[in-house]
Amino acid sequence: MNLPNTDDLLSLQLFQIIKKVVEKSKIETYLIGGFVRDFLLNKKESKDIDIVAIGSGIEIAKSVQRELPNAGKIQIFKNYGTAMFIWEGIVLEFVGARKESYSKESRNPIVEKGTLENDQNRRDFTINAIAISLNSSDFGKILDPFNGFDDIKNGVIKTPLNPNKTYSDDPLRMLRAVRFASQLNFKIEKKSLNSIFENKDRIEIISKERVVDEINKIISTRKPSVGFRILEQTGLLKNILPEIQNLKGIEEIEGFKHKDNFYHTLEVLDNICESTNNLWLRWSALLHDIGKAPTKKIVKDVGWTFHGHEFVGSKMVYKLFKRLKMPLNDKMKYVQKLVLMSSRPIIIAQEMVTDAAVRRLVFDAGNYIDDLICLCKADITTKNQKKFSEYHENFEVVTNKIIEVEKRDKIRNFQPPVDGDIIMEYFKLKPCREIGKIKEVIKEAILEGKIPNEKNAALELMRLTGKKLGLKINE
């Protein structure tokens, strides 16, 4: 297959203006990187354009920004020789061509001015090293020194230079290789795959924030299991997310064996990706069983148990987020909550669905109830078609019951109709433990369906409970 024609692409206003600027400045300039790759993949949604100049990228950026109507404010990074601005939702980044050399201790290179060849050599993968000329003499010509277009056609990820040098110089590229394999459904070349295994420990020099950014991108793909299988295969997973690595394997003792919770987790993650793009709900699916490794126990005549794995797993979420410098805010608490409650709807679905059980589930889950049900449905991975159908039918019953109970009892984000101020005023009390006891009795009575979630019923129970506690009634 021949290289595609670039005429239609380069006839766009943006590239015609860049062509004029380049011609006037006499600075060689090329399109390069992800935008070119996506063009060759026939992907139209790319909104990031990288432009490399054999000279001052900043000078070209300034000139193009002045020529483009309604272009955003330009940002200049002199230390890196780069400039960027936004035009019509497109991020344009300009950089001077460079060559790089690295020290063993850092992924930050020593940078020198270079040629287009130098710049293509330093690129991470052949599919990202393809350039398109923006120069009048050969406008639109594709320059592909490493046969990256063939790798695009064949679905292959490989490095322009020796992969050991590429990955050792900048270990983040190992994660990028996995991410592109997952995003594009490409295979990593065997030599490159072996090199990732050999250099896996070099990932330690990469900041946690950069590592998490790549993991987030893998989790955000259509089928994240592709990326996580490669992470496990290359040894990167053990270095980054040992909690997931520790789920791998099947043990058999006295005729009892358990499923491989690593592959089960990946299946749950893929399942949930069919229903949601919520990154943190996807994280919840990835982490929902991490408590199983530390709680695994063989019980005579029973088999393998994982008692309390949800509680242990929720505690592990905090440690994992902290170690990886992820946000210790409402996002972390959301994941913790879903991990903690990940088995609750499943238990209800397997038993007789009572209003009281559903009320308590909705009360405990609050606004997370819909996401929790989504997680639990994704957690159904049995290959027994009869059981699979039964589980889903049971979940439909639970879901309908939640809608019914919520409509009637308004339990989501539930606040008892009688609060502490009313109790203190009625019994002429100052803050004390009796107030908490009365509130708890009212809450439990509503959740158990003993009284409706209404003020008059709650006031009557308040009076009766106060009387039992020996409180003086002031009417």
The model's pLDDT over 52-91, given as tens digits with 9 standing for 90+, comes to: 999 999 999 999 999 999 999 999 998 788 999 999 999 9
**pLDDT (tens digit per residue) in 275-326:** 999 999 999 999 999 999 999 888 887 888 888 999 999 999 999 999 999 9
Q: Which CATH architecture has domain 7-154?
A: 2-Layer Sandwich (3.30)
Over residues 247-264, the mean pLDDT reads 84
Residues ≥6 apart with Cβ < 8 Å to 277: 220
- Does the pLDDT at position 256 exceed 90? no
Phi-psi region of 155 (alpha: psi -120 to 50; beta: other; left: phi over 0): left
CA-to-CA separations, 103 to 42, 205, 332, 333, 423, in angstroms, rounded: 38, 11, 36, 39, 69
pLDDT of residue 155: 97
Q: Which amino acid is at 391?
A: Y
Summarised one tens digit per residue, pLDDT across range 169-182 is 899 999 999 999 99
* Mean pLDDT of the region 21-45: 92
pLDDT class of 127 with cuts at 50, 70, 90: very high
Are the CB atoms for 8 and 37 separated by under 8 Å?
no
Residue 385 confidence (pLDDT): 86
Split at pLDDT 50, 70, 90, the class of 110 is low
Return the pLDDT at 9.
87
Percent of the chain with pLDDT over 90: 64
Residue 414 has a pLDDT of 74
Average pLDDT, the chain: 90
What is the per-residue burial (b if ≥16 Cβ within 10 Å, else e) of 439-460? bebbbebbbeeebebeeebbbe
Share of the chain above pLDDT 70, in %: 95
pLDDT, position 107: 57
Lowest mean pLDDT among 134-143, 324-333, 418-427: 418-427
Q: pLDDT band for position 47 (50/70/90)?
A: confident
Task: Classify each residue of 151-186 as buried b or exposed e, where b means 16 or more C-beta atoms within 10 Å of its C-beta.
Answer: bbeeebbbbbeebbebbbbbbbbbbbbbbbbbbbeb
pLDDT digits (tens, 9 = 90+) for 424-475: 988 988 889 999 999 989 988 988 889 988 899 999 999 999 989 988 776 5
Beta strand 156-157 with 187-188 is: parallel
Q: What is the pLDDT of residue 351?
A: 64
CA nearest 264: which of 289, 239, 235, 291? 289
pTM over 0.85: yes
- Give alpha helix (H) positions in 220-354: 225-234, 236-240, 242-245, 261-273, 279-287, 292-295, 309-323, 330-340, 344-350
| Beta strand pairing call for 252-253 and 297-299 | unpaired
Q: What pLDDT is recorded for position 109? A: 59
Q: Would you kindly state where each structural domain of the chain is located, as residue ranges?
A: 7-154, 155-240, 420-468
Tell me the backbone φ, ψ of residue 453, rounded to 5 degrees.
-80, 65
CB 326 within 8 A of CB 212: yes
Vertex 197 angle, CA 34 and 104, to 5°: 75
- Nearest Cα neighbor of 119 from 149, 135, 143, 140 is 143
Question: What are the percentages of helix, strand and coil residues in the chain, rounded to 5?
Answer: 55, 10, 30
pLDDT at 447: 87
What's the rounded Cα separation, in Å, for the pair 342 and 314? 10
Structure tokens at 178: 């996995």
Looking at residue 354, its pLDDT comes to 80
Q: What is the residue type of 417? A: P
Mean pLDDT, residues 251-258 taken together = 74
Domain 155-240 fold is: Hydrophobic Seed Protein (1.10.110)
Q: Does the pLDDT at position 219 exceed 80? A: yes
Res 95: pLDDT: 94
pLDDT value at residue 100? 61
Q: What is the mean pLDDT of residues 372-378?
A: 93
Q: Count helices and strands (H / E) in the chain.
A: 25, 15
pLDDT at 162 over 80: yes
Q: How buried is 297 (Cβ within 10 angstroms: 0-12 exposed, 13-18 middle, 19+ buried)?
A: exposed
With beta carbons less than 8 A apart as the criterion, state whether 282 and 269 touch: yes
Span 149-164, average pLDDT: 96
When pLDDT is cut at 50, 70 and 90, the band that residue 383 belongs to is confident
What is the pLDDT, as a whole number, of residue 61?
95
